[in-house]
Amino acid sequence: MADVVEVLVPGGKATAGPPIGPALGPLGINVKAVVDEINKQTSTFNGMQVPVRIDVDDKKNFTVTVGIPPTTALIKKEVNIEKGSPEPNMQIVGDLPMEAAVRIARMKANDMLSYDLKNAVKEVVGTCVSVGVSVDGRRPKEVLAAIDAGTYDSVLV
């Protein structure tokens, strides 16, 4: 029987401390080896919280599976901001190019409820509302209407 540990770690900066160490310690595996593997696999997500799943089998072998960071983290990294706007409807803290919204939607495709790219991009743009980020220099709600009207169909293929 295998044990599964799921944690959220800072990309490329996981440590043997909480939450990983205490979760893996009782399983009797080399925690440092697991942390090194996690850091190797999450280094491209530096500065973002990354979901990680560690499967440990009864022979003490482990497999690390890295998930995709939350959409908000990807938007913040793309726009180069530390945190979202304290007043998202009033104060815009960055602008996300439509190409970046499409890239994030493709990255998150397996985790989203949408069946196609157009709706996945609308999910990303919708997330921009709560982060306080404009899209293509426009308010996210205007961009959602433009997507529905077909304005961005050429980019959404």
The CATH number assigned to the domain holding 126 equals 1.10.10.250
Q: Please indicate, yes or no, whether residues 135 and 99 belong to a single structural domain of this protein.
A: yes
**CATH code at 8?**
3.30.1550.10
Average pLDDT over residues 59-85: 92
pLDDT band at 47 (very low <50, low <70, confident <90, very high): confident
Q: Check residue 1 and give its pLDDT.
A: 61
Do 47 and 32 have their domain in common?
yes
Average pLDDT taken over every residue of the chain: 92
Tell me which of 14, 32, 66 is where a domain ends.
66
Nearest Cα neighbor of 104 from 133, 83, 65, 145 is: 133
- What per-residue confidence (pLDDT) applies to 17? 92
pLDDT of residue 87: 92
Contacts of 126 (CB under 8 A, 6+ apart): 140, 144
Distance from CA of residue 148 to its chain's centroid? 25
Mean pLDDT of all residues in 58-86: 92
pLDDT of residue 115: 84
> Residue 14's domain spans which residues?
3-66
Q: Give the pTM.
A: 0.78
Phi and psi for 26 in degrees, rounded to 5? -65, -15
Report yes or no on 155 lying in a domain: no
pLDDT digits (tens, 9 = 90+) for 106-133: 988 888 888 899 999 999 999 999 999 9
Residue after which a domain boundary falls, among 66, 84, 112: 66
Last residue of a domain, one of 46, 66, 86: 66
Mean pLDDT of 138-142: 95
Chain-centre distance of CA 34, in angstroms?
A: 21
When pLDDT is cut at 50, 70 and 90, the band that residue 44 belongs to is confident
Per-residue pLDDT, 111: 81
Asked if residue 137 has pLDDT above 80, the reply is yes
Residues 131 and 76 in one domain: yes
